[in-house]
């Protein structure tokens, strides 16, 4: 990870420069989360990244591996965290309780509670044989956390839409593989949510004949879609995709498990419908929408935008390098975005206490 901005002053200057674009928000009120990826040659140092989050009151973060400089930068900041294991870690964690105990002692105990680790994500979008190790790895990590006195940290796994079969209409959705039923039932036992990466962009890309751009990007006036099985009316694709997860959880015997949207976003360049304006409209639409919930599950949605920066070394198609909200070279926003609707959602909460076919 190369250096770009050092110290707080440059970050503060960038925040002031774009203050007219991203609304200021009250201190202490939690915003929608944002994923922090580091697959780039020009990503700022962790301290500056954390200051950028705090400058815009983004108080939830997801990271994909244990990076000690990033965790140290999060100490005593109040930023809550989804901490990921690497996909390579999963088989090791599943192999034995001692491996999980060692992982917790090395990667969690030195940081918690100074770092507000909320969830541990056991892998990200695991497939094939590695996916069969998820349940054992989750069980071993749960036991290791409990033994270390860290049982408040919830263990889950992050999945993509491919784990769902029969996703249209949403009420017909089921998990495609037996291991996901085991995952769901374990989450029901521990009280942890399922982490789901929900990308209407890829659903739209794969079925443009049946999905309108407006429906995929939260635009008012897009023709609604009715689930013929239960009569629920969907005005956007995100809700339909999320409710497919809830339907699958019910069929797996885990109706009480919540779904946290651990990634969602829209690329601003590099592919079909990947424009700055479409990215702005989708991400702003998601921020504005999370207060309301879905037709099946009304109420606030916990969601994480992907991602804080464009990452110029991500493999794959060009769109993969253009999901960022900010340019890493100067911390300037890729497009104007306002987090204030998310703030209102979380104020209400405080007072009261990738790819598939879908059309």
Catalytic residue among 125, 250, 277, 302: 125
Distance CA 297, CA 151 (A): 27
Annotated catalytic residue 125: yes
Tokens for 130, please give them.
């590695």
Beta bridge partners of 62: 35, 82
Catalytic residue among 263, 302, 317, 318: 263
81 with 61: CB under 8 angstroms?
yes
Distance CA 337, CA 279 (A): 10
Annotated catalytic residue 263: yes
Q: Does an H or E element contain 128, and which?
A: helix 128-131
Strands 225-226 and 233-234: antiparallel
Q: What does the buried/exposed string (b/e) look like for 305-343 if buried means 16 or more CB atoms within 10 Å of the residue's CB?
A: bbbbbbbeebeeeebebbbbbbebeebebbbebebbbbb
Strands 225-226 and 303-305: unpaired
Is the torsion defined by CA of 181, 34, 105, 154 positive or negative?
negative
The catalytic site residues sit at 125, 263
């Amino acid at each position: 990870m190369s250096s770009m901005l050092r110290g707080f002053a440059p970050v503060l200057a960038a925040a002031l420069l774009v203050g007219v674009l991203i609304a200021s928000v009250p201190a202490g009120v939690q915003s929608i989360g944002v994923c922090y990826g580091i697959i780039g040659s020009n990503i700022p140092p962790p301290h500056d990244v954390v200051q950028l989050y705090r400058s815009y009151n983004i108080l939830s973060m997801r990271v994909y591996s244990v990076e000690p400089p990033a965790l140290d930068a999060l100490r005593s900041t109040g930023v809550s965290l989804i901490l990921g294991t690497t996909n390579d870690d999963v088989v090791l964690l599943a192999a034995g309780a001692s491996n999980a105990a060692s992982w917790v002692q090395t990667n969690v105990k030195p940081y918690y509670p100074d770092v507000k680790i909320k969830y541990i994500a056991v892998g990200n979008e695991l497939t094939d044989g590695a996916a069969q190790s998820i349940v054992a790895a989750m069980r071993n990590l749960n036991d290791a956390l409990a033994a270390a006195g860290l049982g408040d940290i919830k263990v889950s796994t992050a999945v993509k839409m491919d784990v769902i079969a029969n996703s249209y209409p949403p009420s017909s959705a089921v998990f495609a593989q037996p291991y996901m039923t085991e995952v769901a039932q374990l989450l029901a036992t521990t009280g942890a949510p399922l982490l789901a990466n929900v990308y209407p962009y890829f659903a739209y890309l794969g079925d443009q004949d049946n999905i309108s751009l407006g429906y995929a990007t939260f635009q008012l006036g897009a023709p609604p879609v009715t689930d013929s099985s239960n009569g629920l009316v969907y005005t956007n694709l995100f809700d339909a995709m999320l409710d497919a997860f809830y339907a699958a959880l019910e069929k797996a015997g885990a109706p009480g498990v919540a779904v946290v949207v651990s990634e969602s976003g829209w690329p601003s360049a590099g592919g079909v419908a990947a424009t700055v304006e479409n990215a702005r409209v989708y991400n702003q639409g998601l921020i504005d929408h999370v207060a309301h919930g879905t037709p099946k599950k009304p109420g606030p949605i916990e969601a994480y935008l992907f991602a804080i920066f464009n990452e110029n070394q991500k493999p794959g198609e060009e769109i993969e390098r253009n999901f960022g909200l900010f340019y890493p070279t100067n911390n300037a926003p890729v497009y104007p975005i306002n987090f204030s609707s998310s703030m209102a959602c979380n104020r209400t909460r405080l007072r009261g206490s990738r790819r598939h076919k879908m059309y």
